[in-house]
Amino acid sequence: MVDATASFDGKRLAAIQASSRALRGDAAGLSVSVTAAEGLAAYAAFCRSALCAPAQSAAWVLNWAAEVKPDLLIATLELEGKPAFALALEVVRRGPLRVAQFMGGRHANGNFCASEPQWLINPDITAVRSMLAAIARSRPDIDLIALERLLPDLDGIANPLASLDHFASPNLSLAVDLSGGFDALLLRASGKRKRKKHRSQTRKFEAVGSHRRIEASSADEVERLLDAFFEMKEQRFRKMGIANVFGDDRTRAFFRGLFTQALDEDKPCFVLHGLEVAGKLRAVTGSSRSGRRLICEFGAIAEDDLANTSPGDFLFFDNIQDACRSGFAVYDFSVGDEPYKRLWCDIETRHFEVLVPLTLKGRALGLALRQGARLKAFVKNSPMIWRLTKMLRRKAAGQAQPTAGEDDA
């Protein structure tokens, strides 16, 4: 988040206002537009040639707009009449304040705004500041622009927002290098033990019935896997004593639309996998495909008689093996540092946050969010304090023992 500390002129940031008049000398032909829902079609057209993360893709943005119906804005930086950089944001309330954030809220991770590849070679950060100023003028009701969980780079191309003031996200993102294929990966990652465990799990599954890995290839399968996932998450979050970020009907409709529409693509950008044992789904993952990276956006296991056999680990084994066969270079577990991820991962990525306060109230909120991120990072980097925090959270929810594969939150 940009931690802007410039002086204010009344309620608006003087520095943000001034930036709109400070385009660099070679900025001829640059223009900025800020639109609402009428800008979605142009944004989707831009995404066909732009570089962007899955949560900024046209599929994600259009489905979120259709199902959640947010108060949205599309800010576009154009060069010679063609889009070069675009922000697709929703305006939400955080207490009494209005905050512009990436569409999807906490579901949007590893963010990288839609950008024209050639523009990224020498991005004009002054023009980006001018875009932020245009948002402030167009939407004077917004207190803060919060661009969270930003990727430092995408496919080796640096994120232009890293040139703004920023700070580290509190949570790590973990991934595994698939170089050399699955056998080579296992040689680097305790493969003998992993294969032995996988065989043992297979025998346990076969003892209660047949098992299979499913990749959703029809609307009915998408519905079945997501229904199972939502139920798994409902139980898990209740036991952990935290809010269910998948509980809202509009959020669920968004994911149904996202994964169903992806089926129309030759190579779906979003895909669901499930582990079925004895006719019941025991684990589900939802993933996005981004270049040569397969990203696990979410996952869950059933709290039933087979939970102790680690069906989630079994499904990850098969998913990673399939990712290797499919030619992916990286399997990304996304945000959150958990033991089950550490069993595989050899790549750590620290996302960053950019906060742009537009009012005095927004500046106060920005400072609070920054301090909150520091506190969260301190807690999670202290194993003893983090264990105590999770224990207290479980006790508040009436859960005495940790659940298997407890999520990072």
**HSE toward the beta carbon, residue 268, CA cutoff 13 A:** 20
> Residue 262 and residue 242: Cα distance in Å, rounded?
30
Contact 110, 335 (CB under 8 A): yes
Q: Is 313 helix (H, G, I), strand (E, B) or coil?
A: helix
Burial of 179 (0-12, 13-18, 19+ CB in 10 A): exposed
DSSP state of 322: H
pLDDT of amino acid 401: 53
Give the angle subtended at the CA of 36 by the CAs of 33 and 41, to the nearest 5°: 85
Q: How many CA atoms does the CB half-sphere of 205 hold within 13 Å?
A: 26
Considering the domain 8-170+351-383 in this protein, what is its CATH number?
3.40.630.30
pLDDT digits (tens, 9 = 90+) for 118-164: 999 999 999 999 999 999 999 999 999 999 999 999 989 999 999 99
End-to-end Cα spacing for the chain: 19
Q: What is the mean pLDDT of residues 290-313?
A: 96
Contact 134, 94 (CB under 8 A): no
Q: Give the model's pLDDT for residue 393.
A: 64
Q: Is 239 helix (H, G, I), strand (E, B) or coil?
A: helix
Instruction: Output phi, psi for 87, to 5 deg.
Output: -115, 125
| pLDDT above 50: residue 6 | no
What proportion of the chain, given as a percentage, has pLDDT over 90? 79
Q: Taking residues 215-228, what's their average pLDDT? A: 98
Residue 101 predicted with pLDDT over 70:
yes
CATH architecture of 179-328: 3-Layer(aba) Sandwich (3.40)
The answer to whether the beta carbons of residues 30 and 124 sit under 8 Å apart is: yes
> Whole-angstrom Cα distance, residue 326 to residue 318?
12
List the structure tokens of 253: 């409709």
Residue 409 has pLDDT above 50, yes or no: no
Mean pLDDT of all residues in the chain? 89
Which pLDDT does position 26 carry in this prediction? Answer: 46
- List pLDDT tens digits, range 58-76: 999 999 999 999 999 999 9
The whole-number average pLDDT for the span 48-57 is 98
- pLDDT at res. 389: 67
Q: What is the pLDDT of residue 381?
A: 67
Between helix 219-240 and helix 249-262 the angle, nearest 10°, is 140
pLDDT in tens, 20-46: 444 443 456 889 999 999 999 999 999
Residue 9 confidence (pLDDT) above 90: no
Range list for CATH 3.40.630.30 in the chain: 8-170+351-383, 179-328
Helices (H), 166-248: 181-188, 191-208, 219-240
Predicted model pTM = 0.89
